[in-house]
Structure 1
Amino acid sequence: MNRWLPFEWTAALRFLADGRMQTVFIVGGVTIGVAVIVFMSAMLAGLQANFIRRVLTSQPQIQLLPREEVARPLRGADGVIEGAVVQRPTQRILAIDQWQAIAAAMRARPDVTVVAPTVTGSALAVRGDASRSISIVGMDPAQYFRIVRVPDYLVAGEARVGTDDILVGAELARNLGAGIADKINVTTARGGQRILTITGIVDFGNKGANERNTYVALRTAQSLLDLIGGATTIDLTVADIYAADAIAREIAAVAPVKADSWISTNAQFFTAVRAQQTSNTLIRLFVGLSVAFGIAAVLVVSVIQRSKDIGILRAMGASRARILRIFLVQGGVLGFAGSALGSALGAGALVVWHRWFRQVDGSELFPLVLEPSLFAASAALATLTGVLAALAPAVRAASIDPVDAIRG
């Protein structure tokens, strides 16, 4: 096999084979380091994917709302301000002006995938002696359920939203002592009143949402909130979820609405993600430095042990460049071999962790994300680290004087 390899590869592999104990230890060190990097990176990717999935399936990616009402001071005929103190007005429930035209414009945008007008407001749910304050969301299920995956959180009944139907949170149903097919009396501050039948109970995994959130048909909410033909919000999904903030700013600049993106409304989530990414980067850095110093230390020892061999090679006509390449090849081989074993070890540990460590209800802690790019990047990084770590020992080996080395 060696006759088909370049001289540098043949010599490098021979040196590694002769010092097999050192080779085994350094490959083991690289393996553990790469396994830690692969495991941490894949676990972080899974956690982020889980967070984003939960966020994006429980709220719109962009929500368009009416602009806030602003109080303006009264001016007299001569331009004198009549009111010295201007108080911020109470924000009433308002429909978006010309919302049909705005929704049509949103559907025409290539970066917007789903458009769902909704009517939202507060109400009081009463059943017998029990009453609870609730938040009503009136919508068209055909569009809205493509944005907020309410059926995915259904724990009882069905996601049917007719004229006299209502979907309620699990905590609200418990507080009202209600179940599927029970009726509740819904009353709003604007005088709207409706007796609705519970057709489904949902559990969002959030107590606050389960206590307040309810879903009714769009026309039912319009009637209850005295907004016939109106829409208080327009919910959107976009093709690129990470461009939602820029798209929201662009929409707010051209349309008479306020636009909130899921990125701006989940700032704490992104702060936590950035903190995790920073921690993962630091772990990778320190593990990489440990691997580099380990490879460098072994190759320095190898240079000292192989001084006579290097001197003989130099006396036989091997150039300094060839000696340099021999040790660079050794570093690259150590890094690549360790990365291959480490990637397999890290992936295996992740599969075992994902299979045996579960939440209380038996569901997965996080989705299993094993991307080929992660293994390719780990192999390239470990190989490059090995080559760079071998640079100093290689330069030292190439500078050895053959006469002094043979006499050594």
Structure 2
Amino acid sequence: MRVQFTIALAHLRQRPRSTLVSLLGIMLGVAFFLAVSALMRGSEQDFLKRLVDNSPHITVMDQYRTPHVQPAELRWPGAALAISNVKPQQETRGIRNYRNKLEAIENLPGVRVAPLLRGSAVLTFAGQQQGLSLSGVVPSRMKDVSTIDEQMVAGALDDLSSAPNGVIIGQGLADKFQLGLGSTVNMLTASGGSRIMKVVGIFRTGNAGYDETEAFTLLKRAQVILERPNRVNRFIIQLADPQAARTVAAGIEASIGYKAVSWIEASEDLLSLLLVRNIIMYSVVTAILVVASFGIYNTISTIVVDKRRDIAILKAMGFQAADVRRIFLYQGMVIGLLGSAAGLLLGYGMMHVLARVELKPPGVSDVVAMPIWWGADQYLLAVAFAMAACLGAAYLPANKAGKLPPVMTLRGAI
């Protein structure tokens, strides 16, 4: 094997220009593979982080995945007559016996949960009106399952505990109504109730629709305003492992009966879009390496043509076809390893340059940095694709060299 490797290196040194071109092709291919992969996967991770961190991993609602069967159908299944237009008994909506169910969910490993009562309300101030979603929360629990406390630009979520009629609104709504800390507004509900509320906090998420239509108050105060005493209609759940959300949600739903929706189920269309995007991305960067491998194929094919007599002499000396093939496969391997090493260094530098790029999209006040993924697996993947392309490009001429008949070649017939 040492002799074969030495011959392979000698062949490459005899053609420095072709070898250098092949090396540059692989180097650039690996570098662009790394840069594009790091950028695309970084943007994917950033998107998922925003999606996962800014929304519950699991939401338990006060409804059932499938409607309950009517008593008449249970009593007389398959009856000749069917009762239609049955109106369910009117009741106060909410999760029944929610404290026991909350405790059962809390006992699950790696689970943080907060109860929430969500309803519709209308905020009026100085003749202006704005429909919004009012959420009654327990501040100490809400901070464990939401990032809303980190997004406060004035006041804090804990201020609700010291202000019985306090409300926290978004920056968009505050700007629209020209409100500030200490401002008082009138809150109207669908049932006709009205209450004067005091602004004790202002948050900003960057989502204009959310910042204009969301408000938070104490859970007990929301139960009074929305006329749902001792009721909640949501459990907001965060997990230590977000990827386990689908399994945990199924277990919770089977345990308590109410519908539990994981972030994976709620975002299936977005996740499928990310999968398609990744397939396109890897297809493009792989095509770059495939194009670069043509340089290797051309270099080794030329060496095989020029070294036909040398190959015939080697086979006459006792080299088998596999030994000859190995010589040219070594050439592809050497070009692949050297090109990959140089490409990794260049790609790493390109990733650092991209990480320093800052953008300010039109209409956005915050500067956005390019998200870069630094995971080690993409380096291994780039080298694996490069070596596969190099060895694949080297195999065809290597196989041709191994099949050359030595006698006819030495006679000049080939």
TM-score by length of 1: 0.89
- Residue in structure 2 matching 1:31, options 23, 27, 38: 27
Alpha-carbon separation, structure 2, partners of 1:153 and 1:366? 21
Q: Which residue of 1 aligns with 2:381?
A: 377
**In structure 2, the residue corresponding to 1:118 is in which secondary structure?**
strand
Alpha-carbon separation, structure 1, partners of 2:69 and 2:404? 84
Aligned positions of 1:350-365 closer than 5 A: 350-360=351-361, 361=365, 363-365=367-369
**Which amino acid in the other structure matches residue 310 of structure 1?**
I
Alpha-carbon separation, structure 1, partners of 2:61 and 2:112? 16
Instruction: Return the offset for 1:273.
Output: 0.8
Aligned positions of 1:131-146 closer than 5 A: 131-146=129-144
**Within the alignment, does 1:184 sit opposite 2:185 as a pair?**
yes
Instruction: Return the offset for 1:93.
Output: 6.4
Instruction: Return the offset for 1:65.
Output: 0.8
Alpha-carbon separation, structure 2, partners of 1:132 and 1:393? 74
Q: Which residue of 1 aligns with 2:154?
A: 156
1:70–1:88: 8 Å Cα contact kept in structure 2? no
Alpha-carbon separation, structure 2, partners of 1:302 and 1:234? 70
**In structure 1, the residue corresponding to 2:198 is in which secondary structure?**
strand
Which range moved further: 41-50 or 295-304?
295-304
Alpha-carbon separation, structure 2, partners of 1:13 and 1:105? 69
Alpha-carbon separation, structure 2, partners of 1:352 and 1:279? 24
Aligned positions of 1:196-275 closer than 5 A: 196-275=197-276
Alpha-carbon separation, structure 1, partners of 2:280 and 2:257? 42
Instruction: Return the offset for 1:191.
Output: 4.4
**Within the alignment, does 1:100 sit opposite 2:99 as a pair?**
yes
1:347–1:370: 8 Å Cα contact kept in structure 2? no
**In structure 2, the residue corresponding to 1:242 is in which secondary structure?**
helix
Alpha-carbon separation, structure 2, partners of 1:102 and 1:72? 25
**In structure 1, the residue corresponding to 2:160 is in which secondary structure?**
coil
Alpha-carbon separation, structure 2, partners of 1:347 and 1:181? 52
**In structure 2, the residue corresponding to 1:155 is in which secondary structure?**
strand
**Within the alignment, does 1:46 sit opposite 2:50 as a pair?**
no
1:192–1:223: 8 Å Cα contact kept in structure 2? no
Q: What stretches of structure 2 of length at least 5 have no aligned partner?
A: none
- Residue in structure 1 matching 2:5, options 3, 9, 22: 9
Q: 1:307 to 1:216 in 2, by over 3 A?
A: same
Instruction: Return the offset for 1:192.
Output: 4.0
Alpha-carbon separation, structure 1, partners of 2:217 and 2:352? 42
Instruction: Return the offset for 1:100.
Output: 1.4
Q: Residue by residue, what CA displacement relative to the aligned partner does 1:223-245 show, whole Å, maximum 9, x if unpaired?
A: 21122322111111123322322
Alpha-carbon separation, structure 1, partners of 2:220 and 2:274? 39
Q: Which residue of 1 aligns with 2:85?
A: 85
Q: Which residue of 2 aligns with 1:119?
A: 117
Q: Residue by residue, what CA displacement relative to the aligned partner does 1:162-193 show, whole Å, maximum 9, x if unpaired?
A: 23322211111122221222222222223443
Instruction: Return the offset for 1:97.
Output: 1.0
Alpha-carbon separation, structure 1, partners of 2:238 and 2:58? 6
Q: Which residue of 2 aligns with 1:64?
A: 60
Alpha-carbon separation, structure 2, partners of 1:25 and 1:280? 25
**In structure 2, the residue corresponding to 1:200 is in which secondary structure?**
strand
What's the % identity of the aligned pairs?
Answer: 27
Q: Which residue of 2 aligns with 1:281?
A: 282
Alpha-carbon separation, structure 2, partners of 1:70 and 1:185? 39
1:71–1:87: 8 Å Cα contact kept in structure 2? no
Which range moved further: 381-390 or 18-27?
381-390
Alpha-carbon separation, structure 2, partners of 1:288 and 1:88? 64
TM-score by length of 2: 0.88
1:62–1:262: 8 Å Cα contact kept in structure 2? yes
Alpha-carbon separation, structure 2, partners of 1:136 and 1:253? 29
**In structure 2, the residue corresponding to 1:187 is in which secondary structure?**
strand
2:102–2:113: 8 Å Cα contact kept in structure 1? yes
Which range moved further: 168-177 or 345-354?
345-354
